Amino acid sequence: MTNFLFVLIVFFLFYDCSKAFDHWTVAETWPAGFCSAIPCNAGKAKLRKFTIHGLWPSNYTNPQPRTCSSQVLQISEIAAIESELKQDWPDYFGNDLKFWSRQWIDHGSCSNMKPFDFFNLALDIYRRNNLTAILENAGISPGGEYPINDFISAISTSIGVKPQINKAFDHWTVAETWPAGFCSAIPCNAGKAKLRKFTIHGLWPSNYTNPQPRTCSSQVLQISEIAAIESELKQDWPDYFGNDLKFWSRQWIDHGSCSNMKPFDFFNLALDIYRRNNLTAILENAGISPGGEYPINDFISAISTSIGVKPQIKCSRQYPNHLVEIRLCLNTKNIPQFINCATGSGCKPELLFLQ
Ligand SMILES: *[C@@H]1O[C@H](CO)[C@@H](O)[C@H](O)[C@H]1NC(C)=O
Ligand SMILES: *[C@@H]1O[C@H](CO)[C@@H](O)[C@H](O)[C@H]1NC(C)=O
Ligand SMILES: *[C@@H]1O[C@H](CO)[C@@H](O)[C@H](O)[C@H]1NC(C)=O
Ligand SMILES: *[C@@H]1O[C@H](CO)[C@@H](O)[C@H](O)[C@H]1NC(C)=O
pLDDT tens digit string along 103-112? 999 899 999 9
| Number of structural domains the chain divides into | 2
Q: Is 79 in the pocket of ligand 1 (CB under 6 A)?
A: no
Shared-domain flag, residues 220 and 330 = yes
Mean per-residue pLDDT, 223-244: 96
Shared-domain flag, residues 93 and 238 = no
Shared-domain flag, residues 233 and 331 = yes
What is the predicted pLDDT for the residue at 273?
Answer: 94
Distance 281 CA to ligand 2 centre (A): 57
The angle that helices 96-106 and 115-128 make with each other, rounded to 10 degrees, is 100
Shared-domain flag, residues 128 and 253 = no
Region of poorest pLDDT, from 130-134, 241-245, 342-346: 342-346
pTM here?
0.57
Shared-domain flag, residues 102 and 177 = no
Cis peptide leading into 115, omega within 30 of 0? no
Mean per-residue pLDDT, 290-299: 96
Strands 293-295 and 312-315: unpaired
pLDDT band at 166 (very low <50, low <70, confident <90, very high): low
Distance 213 CA to ligand 3 centre (A): 7
Provide the domain limits for residue 50: 2-165
Shared-domain flag, residues 148 and 176 = no
Q: Is 160 a residue whose pLDDT tops 90?
A: no
Shared-domain flag, residues 109 and 199 = no
What's the chain's average pLDDT?
A: 88
Shared-domain flag, residues 211 and 120 = no
Q: Is 18 a residue whose pLDDT tops 70?
A: no
Domain end, chosen from 106, 137, 165, is at 165
Ordered DSSP codes for 125-144: HHHHS-HHHHHHHTT--TT-
| Residues paired with residue 322 on neighbouring β-strands, in sequence order | 352
Residue environment code for 145-155, b if the CB has 16+ CB neighbours within 10 A, otherwise e = ebeeeebeebb
Please give the Cα distance from 76 to 30 (Å, whole number): 29
pLDDT band at 310 (very low <50, low <70, confident <90, very high): very high
3-state secondary structure of 217: coil
Which protein residue's CA is at the shortest distance from atom 14 of ligand 1?
A: 65
161/339: higher pLDDT = 339
What is the predicted pLDDT for the residue at 165?
Answer: 67
Strands (DSSP E) along the chain, which ranges? Answer: 8-13, 23-29, 51-58, 164-165, 171-177, 199-206, 293-295, 312-315, 323-330, 338-339, 350-352
Mutational test site, ligand 1, from 24, 61, 111, 253, max ligand atoms within 8 Å of CB: 61
Shared-domain flag, residues 236 and 258 = yes
Cis peptide leading into 63, omega within 30 of 0? yes
Domain end, chosen from 145, 165, 185, is at 165
Q: How many residues does the chain have?
A: 355
Assign residue 246 the CATH number of its domain: 3.90.730.10
What is the predicted pLDDT for the residue at 230?
Answer: 97
Mutational test site, ligand 3, from 150, 167, 169, 258, max ligand atoms within 8 Å of CB: 167
Distance 207 CA to ligand 3 centre (A): 6
pLDDT band at 13 (very low <50, low <70, confident <90, very high): very low
Q: Is 115 a residue whose pLDDT tops 60?
A: yes
- From residue 326, alpha-carbon distances to 13, 80, 95, 198, 295 in Å are 42, 56, 42, 9, 14
Shared-domain flag, residues 38 and 136 = yes
Domain end, chosen from 165, 192, 213, is at 165
Contact 148, 5 (CB under 8 A): yes
Shared-domain flag, residues 119 and 182 = no
202/344: higher pLDDT = 202
Mean per-residue pLDDT, 263-274: 94
Q: Is 132 in the pocket of ligand 2 (CB under 6 A)?
A: yes
Shared-domain flag, residues 110 and 245 = no
